[in-house]
A and B are shown apart, each in its own frame.
Chain A
Amino acid sequence: MRSLVMIPAYNEECNILNTIADIRRHAPEMDYIVINDCSTDHTEEILKENGIPYLNHPVNLGIGGGVQSGYRYAKDNGYDIAIQFDGDGQHEAQYLHTLIAPIETDAADFAIGSRFLENEGFQSSFLRRFGINFLSGMIHLLCGIRVNDVTSGMRAVNRSLIEAFAQDYAQDYPEPEAILAAGLKGARILEIPVQMRERQGGTSSINALRSVYYMIKVTLALFFSAMSAPRDRRKLHE
């Protein structure tokens, strides 16, 4: 099975090389591609000089647009598994194989690297945990699937979800929405315990002020996608 690691990057000149080295060390057989979302720093030069395969957005699209570019690339190039992996050093490549194992054996369509199954490694603040639990409950309510770490950006999907996400993927704050979209399609979703680090450099895309907006926007988005979903429910396995 051919796997592609997709690394969305926006102004990650400090972290991107470490991330790539980490992936090369732990998963040398996997292909990877960086999606440079119109960075304003030297991310592109670094990618070019080091011969790292990358896509270059001519304008900034946000994380969801970047990830979707990755899914479109995976679809066009016939990959069987696509893995989302943050370029900021939070994710550890040593978990890549455990993450894709259930997809390789066709035990799941969608594997999510979760910090909260064994509660080890970096755990995020109390308020953030509260928000994550709230969204987790909502997704459970709307599609009957329990995912603990709904905002985890480390995840792997199989070919049918690659195609679904290449077609339709939320543009901003897409992680919980993608889980619900897959759940409503009848995907088998599995959480894999992983550890994450606190980010190594640069600044997070979610600051304190934006988190209220984040919660409102994601809650509404989940409601509306659940409302428009019954039409394509259970399509994945027919």
Chain B
Amino acid sequence: MSKTLQIAMLLAVLLYFILLIRMLKKKTLNLKYTLLWLFSGVLMLLLATFPGFLDWFSKLVGIYEPTNALFAIIFFCVIIILMSLTAIVSKLNEKNKRLIQSVALLEKRVRELEERT
């Protein structure tokens, strides 16, 4: 990995963390759902600081160009984050359904109470 790329990456990771932490401070993001973003950021930071790891990793899995290994790792992080988002949406969907049903059940009872009085 070239020194230029290393510096660019460090700057990008810095910007990434500034944005992330600002959003966390403003509570735009819920920490619970941001942990994966934070971990990915830390991983990027480590990769930018110790480029030797990328060389070792790309040799290990047979990628010719260490920068391609970098892309692969970033892509992997993004996929994991997307999967966790789908899991979160699925869970929310189930909770939402239960809630809607409960509202419907309660609404009927309220309606009948109101009719009686």
Contact = CB atoms under 8 A, between A and B. Distances in A.
Contacts of B101: 57, 61, 65, 68-69, 72
Contacts of A1: none
B105 A72 contact: yes
If over half of B's interface residues share one DSSP class (helix, strand or loop), that class is named, otherwise mixed; here it is helix
B57 to A, nearest CB: 34
Interface stretch (A48-56, A111-119, A225-233): A48-56
A59 B105 contact: no
Interface residues of B, number: 9
A68 to B, nearest CB: 6
Interface in A64-106: 65, 68-69, 72-73, 76
B105 A58 contact: no
Nearest to B97: A65
Contacts of B107: 55-56, 58
Nearest to B102: A72
B85 interface: no
Interface in B90-117: 93, 97, 100-101, 103-105, 107-108
Given A55-B105, A58-B107, A65-B97, 10 more contacts: A54-B108, A56-B104, A56-B107, A56-B108, A57-B103, A57-B104, A58-B104, A65-B100, A69-B105, A72-B101
Interface of A: 35, 53-59, 61, 65, 68-69, 72-73, 76, 171
